[in-house]
Amino acid sequence: MGYKDVGIVILAAGKGTRMKSDMAKVLHKVAGKSMIVHVIECARKIARDNIHVVVGYQAEQVKNEINRWFKVKFALQPRLLGTGDAVKSALPGMMPHIKDVLVLCGDVPLIQEKTLRKLIDGHKKSQAKLTVLATDVEDPSGYGRIVLGKNNHLLCIKEEADASAAEKKINRVNTGIYCFDKALLMSIIDDIKPDNRQAEYYLTDGVEIAQKKGESILVLTMDDPREVVGVNTLEGLVKAESFIQQLGK
């Protein structure tokens, strides 16, 4: 059964310049299906009717591909200003009864239902205002690092470009998947500022804002990093193709 009070935002607006292709990143195929189709298939097991896909680059092509398979709600991100801005574009479409918002990435095609259920159940049980899905990897380069203080308390998530030399050595990384209390998300989304090297609105900055407000934040570390491999390059696509066979998805 799906969760009646959970809305899902899937980020699918990016261009994916490192894919060396003009095609929108989420339209690249893994095991014969577009990455975005894999993600929505999993999302529908969690919240069948409350799925919002944020489109931007090649919006019509992405919509057309999704509409061949599913009926979802779309939000348009007219300018690709980062993940915080993308989520903001989807919030007005959220139904009033939605209590928690699950944020997924359209380029993480191997995510499994059981992992997302564990995330949502952990979030609800602990009554956290925000739960971050993390994983430990051997090579953390390219990922946002999970910076913990005393008692495993989350201080912030540092993007690679803004991380110090010490922070870059951290192996616990952000998967880009979150569960937010909707009221908290709506209260902090406008506080996110593009004060970084990319001049983008990072959703990860929202985590730091919530932390500074003293909100309860849970970091849930998942066991199998293969599930959350993000596909940013053609090599990543090959890796996802081999992992999908191993995971039996």
Mean pLDDT by 10 residues, the chain (249 residues): 94 87 92 96 94 97 97 96 96 96 96 97 96 95 90 86 93 96 97 90 92 93 92 87 81
Q: Give the span between the Cα atoms of 8 and 53, in whole angstroms.
A: 8
pLDDT of residue 198: 85
For residue 147, what are the contacts with CB-CB under 8 A and spacing of at least 6? 154, 155, 156, 157, 158, 167, 170
* Residue ranges of domains in the chain, CATH in brackets: 6-247 (3.90.550.10)
Position 63 scores a pLDDT of: 97
User: What is the pLDDT at residue 128?
Assistant: 95
pLDDT score at 249 = 58
Q: Is 164 helix (H, G, I), strand (E, B) or coil?
A: coil
Contact predicate 116/46, CB 8 Å: yes
pLDDT at 245: 82
Q: Which pLDDT score is estimated for 20?
A: 78
Alpha-helix runs per DSSP H in the chain: 35-46, 59-67, 83-90, 113-126, 165-168, 182-188, 203-212, 234-247
State the Cα–Cα distance between residues 19 and 22, nearest whole angstrom.
8
Please give the single-letter amino acid code of residue 91.
L
- The pLDDT, as a whole number, for residue 238 is 87
pLDDT at 183: 97
- Maximum Cα–Cα distance for the chain, whole Å? 49
Q: Are strands 130-136 and 217-222 parallel, antiparallel or unpaired?
A: parallel
Q: Is residue 18 among the annotated active site residues?
A: yes
Q: Which of 18, 79, 117, 226 is catalytic?
A: 18
